Amino acid sequence: MNVVRTIAALTLRESARRKVLRALAALTVVLLALSAWGFSRLAAENDFGTMTSGQARLVASQLLNLVMFGMSLIAALGTAFLAGPTVSGEVESGVALSMLARPVRRSAVLLGKWLGLVAFGSGFVVLAGLAQCVVVYLTVDYWPSQPVVALALLGAQTATLLTLGLLLSTVISPMASGVVAVGLFGATWIAGVVGGLGAAFGNDGVARVGTVSQILLPTDGLWRGAMYALQDPTAFAAFGAEMAGFPFLSAGPLSWAYLVWAALWIAMVWGLAALSFGRRDL
């Protein structure tokens, strides 16, 4: 347990001391400022005023989803490129040699790294997401229906991608694992959009693409759950039908079964990472 705690603290310290944190913070501030400006213009523009309040809420929640997607993308890129180098980078450079010759189990080291990365990645998403909600509230007076659920799901999405990045980094080179993790993340998102369109047009075959990809990599499913929690439910009920299949609109909340699957998925992928790291020759 001591080892897990030590490595988790070390991972957090690494994130804080390396340029990742500063780069993430800078990107986030830029995104927050841009969205604040955008939302304030929206409120100031005349046609926002001509909308019914329901339409205005729908547009606001749409835009919030769009900006949040940007945020989750930053988090995904950040954590995937942080998780990538963590194992394979340390093995390649030799840092891992002296550490793993200590009386430690490799699985404990991996668990420590995972906890540190999850704390960092999810912490970032939750803080930045909360800041974004506040920006939207101040500019267009919209507050998400279930902010806690939304932020928790965004955190879970980050943890999912990061676990995948960790598994990849035990088998392939640091850069490749980051690229593959982000690539898969993007691919499932697109598959999710395609599936959404399929559902909107009543094409079961196309809709299944989204469902299957959300099972294989739960990032997109969790993201859709988060979107649902962010958007205005009454607005969707009133106007959603016209916009069904739109990528920044979610049709329904997540089922418990899917949440359990996502947790199981993370546990399985982590287990594979531990197995692969444990067998690796350094």
Partner 1 sequence: MRAAAQLVADLPPAAAAWCTGLRKRYGRRQAVDGVSLEVGRGEVVGLLGPNGAGKTTVIKMLLGLVRPDDGEVMLLGRPATDPAARVRVGYLPELFRYQPWLTAAEVLALHVRLSGVDVPAGEQREALALVGLGERAADRVGGFSKGMQQRLGLAVALVARPELVVLDEPTSALDPLGRVDVRDIVLSLRSRGVAVLLNSHLIGEVERVCDRVVILDHGRVAAAGTLTELLGQQEVQLHLTGVSPAAESRLAAAGTVDREGDWFAVALTGDDDATVPDLVSDLVALRVRVHAVEPGRISLEERLLGILRTGSAA
Closest CB to partner 1 among residues 94, 205 = 94
- C-alpha span between 153 and 263 (Å, rounded): 11
For the chain, how big is the Rg over CA atoms in Å? 20
Determine if residue 253 is left, alpha or beta; phi over 0 gives left, psi from -120 to 50 gives alpha, anything else beta.
beta
- C-alpha span between 57 and 53 (Å, rounded): 6
Task: Tell the smallest beta-carbon distance from residue 102 to partner 1 (Å).
Answer: 4
Would you state the torsion angle of the CA atoms of residues 146, 151, 156, 158, taken in this order, to the nearest 10 degrees?
150
Closest CB to partner 1 among residues 23, 104 = 104
Task: Tell the smallest beta-carbon distance from residue 181 to partner 1 (Å).
Answer: 23
- Tokens for 277, please give them: 């790291």
Phi and psi torsions of 259, nearest 5°: -65, -40
The contact set with partner 1 (CB under 8 A) reads: 2-3, 6, 10, 13-14, 17-18, 93-95, 97-105, 279, 281-282
CB 104 within 8 A of CB 1: no
Residue among 103, 85, 104, 105 at smallest CA distance from 95 = 85
Task: Tell the smallest beta-carbon distance from residue 5 to partner 1 (Å).
Answer: 9
Closest CB to partner 1 among residues 57, 106 = 106
Closest CB to partner 1 among residues 2, 53 = 2
Closest CB to partner 1 among residues 89, 147 = 89
- C-alpha span between 8 and 112 (Å, rounded): 4
Task: Tell the smallest beta-carbon distance from residue 204 to partner 1 (Å).
Answer: 48
Phi and psi torsions of 248, nearest 5°: -105, 35
DSSP 113-128: HHHHHHHHHHHHHHHH
Q: Give CA separation, 239 vs 3, 54, 58, in Å.
A: 53, 8, 8
Task: Tell the smallest beta-carbon distance from residue 277 to partner 1 (Å).
Answer: 12
- C-alpha span between 114 and 99 (Å, rounded): 16
Task: Tell the smallest beta-carbon distance from residue 117 to partner 1 (Å).
Answer: 16
Task: Tell the smallest beta-carbon distance from residue 14 to partner 1 (Å).
Answer: 6
Closest CB to partner 1 among residues 14, 220 = 14
Task: Tell the smallest beta-carbon distance from residue 101 to partner 1 (Å).
Answer: 4
Closest CB to partner 1 among residues 100, 272 = 100
Closest CB to partner 1 among residues 79, 139 = 79
- C-alpha span between 215 and 144 (Å, rounded): 26
